[in-house]
Amino acid sequence: MTPPLTTLPEDLIFNEILPRLPVKSLVRLQSVCKPWQRFLTGPNRRLVSMHLWRHRNKYVMIKHRRRYAPAVHAITLLSRERTILVDSLQIPFESHFRFMRVAGSCNGLVCVTDSEFSGAPELPIILWNPSLRKFRALPRSIFSSVLNTVELHERIGQIVHGFGYHPVLDDHRLVRILYLYGEFEVLRIRSEMYSLRTNSWKEVGEPFYHRFLDATCVASDGVLHWIVSSGSSLHFDFVLCFDLRREEFRRLEMPHISLRSRLGTRLAESAEGRLCLIACTPHEAADDDKMVHVWDLNYEGFVWEKKLSVGPFPRIDRLLGCGLNGEIYLEDKGWLCMIRVVMRLKR
């Protein structure tokens, strides 16, 4: 007969079993014994990376307006697998901001700052880990001091942020673009980058001339993306890209969209980690109904590939984002809506 085995080796417990548990359990398990506490609280990149890998692409986080007072914003966590609401999160320090904005999120870290319109570069930027309920303010940036940044007769127009992760550098980085307006509305653009690894800021190269259009940044494959415009009509829209490794800006043209009727475009990251673009157009038959179109970016050719067109849908106020399992998230008068496209998308 085999002798009874009452426990498992520490190696198996630590490296194979614990990374499968949710963060809340891991926090609780710190009080099991000292070795567990050391393992769970120490600077343990292996546990963190295994945990992230096991739980990758499981959730979708959506920031939206709350329907009820008093809080203005709500963050809702949805499970990608089961399409259920997992959690509704309270945003730390919401009252510190004039108009709170999520600059981006990756690997369970959320970067929260003020709206692009506040024009106040000194407002805090907070890195928030909602699952550990921890947050920290970033050190003051180069441009946070207005005196160093703005020349005489200039004023700060907008400040746009982008937050992403580069797997090769294993670094989370935040990019900040400032739009400075001088006399006769002459535009000057400056940009700076923060690295979590070095916990420091540096100025980075100037982007192409553009006017900011949508402050939402989407990070995918170590590159940050924003929809911007270099002119007054939709013809001039393009996607501004910032390569977090090369630390330089690139330009990506938009896919061909019927310009007359475009109601809204949005970038999103698909479940496979690809960049995709969603656009909304009115339905030909009834203007109140809307069609939704999705493209995704073929990185090799740096070209858009059309994935689908669905609709018509009667109730769309705003596109929020999508998961390429076929879910498209929308806002309709303060309600969070989701369209699930039944057709499975081919890669």
Partner 1 sequence: MSSSSTTTTTTRLLMLKASDGVTFEVEEAVATKLGAINNMVEEEGSEDLICLPNVNGKFLGMVLEWCKKHANNNTNSDKGNDEVNKWWDKEFVMDLDQNTLYHLLMAADYLSGTELVDLLTEKVASMIRGKKVEEIRETFKIKSDFLPGQEEEIRKKNSWAFE
Closest approach of Cβ 336 to partner 1, in Å? 25
Nearer to partner 1, 31 or 233 (CB): 31
Nearer to partner 1, 41 or 298 (CB): 41
Nearer to partner 1, 21 or 186 (CB): 21
Q: What's the first-to-final CA gap in the chain, in angstroms? A: 52
* 83 and 68 Cβ atoms separated by less than 8 Å: no
Residues in the chain: 347
Closest approach of Cβ 35 to partner 1, in Å? 8
Residues that bind partner 1 (CB under 8 A): 2, 4-9, 12-13, 16-18, 20-22, 24-25, 27-34, 36-37, 133
CB neighbours (10 Å) of residue 161?
Answer: 24
Closest approach of Cβ 13 to partner 1, in Å? 6
CB neighbours (10 Å) of residue 147?
Answer: 5
CA distances for 314 relative to 1, 162, 231, angstroms: 69, 32, 31
Beta bridge partners of 10: none
Nearer to partner 1, 3 or 301 (CB): 3
Closest approach of Cβ 124 to partner 1, in Å? 23
Q: Which residue has the tokens 């709170």?
A: 100
Nearest to 205 by CA among 188, 191, 217: 191
Q: Which residues contact 333 (CB under 8 A, 6 or more apart)?
A: 317
Closest approach of Cβ 53 to partner 1, in Å? 13
Nearer to partner 1, 32 or 186 (CB): 32
Closest approach of Cβ 131 to partner 1, in Å? 10
DSSP 3-state of 52: helix
Q: Which residue has the tokens 């407002």?
A: 123
* Residues 61, 71: Cα–Cα separation, whole Å: 18
Nearer to partner 1, 2 or 233 (CB): 2
Nearer to partner 1, 20 or 333 (CB): 20
Nearer to partner 1, 37 or 199 (CB): 37
Closest approach of Cβ 73 to partner 1, in Å? 21
* 139 and 124 Cβ atoms separated by less than 8 Å: no
Closest approach of Cβ 55 to partner 1, in Å? 12
Q: Which residues contact 340 (CB under 8 A, 6 or more apart)?
A: 83, 326, 327
CA distances for 326 relative to 231, 301, 310, 338, angstroms: 33, 24, 10, 10
* 128 and 106 Cβ atoms separated by less than 8 Å: no
Closest approach of Cβ 203 to partner 1, in Å? 39
Q: 90-103 burial string, b = 16+ CB within 10 Å, else e?
A: ebeeeeebeebbbb
Nearer to partner 1, 31 or 232 (CB): 31
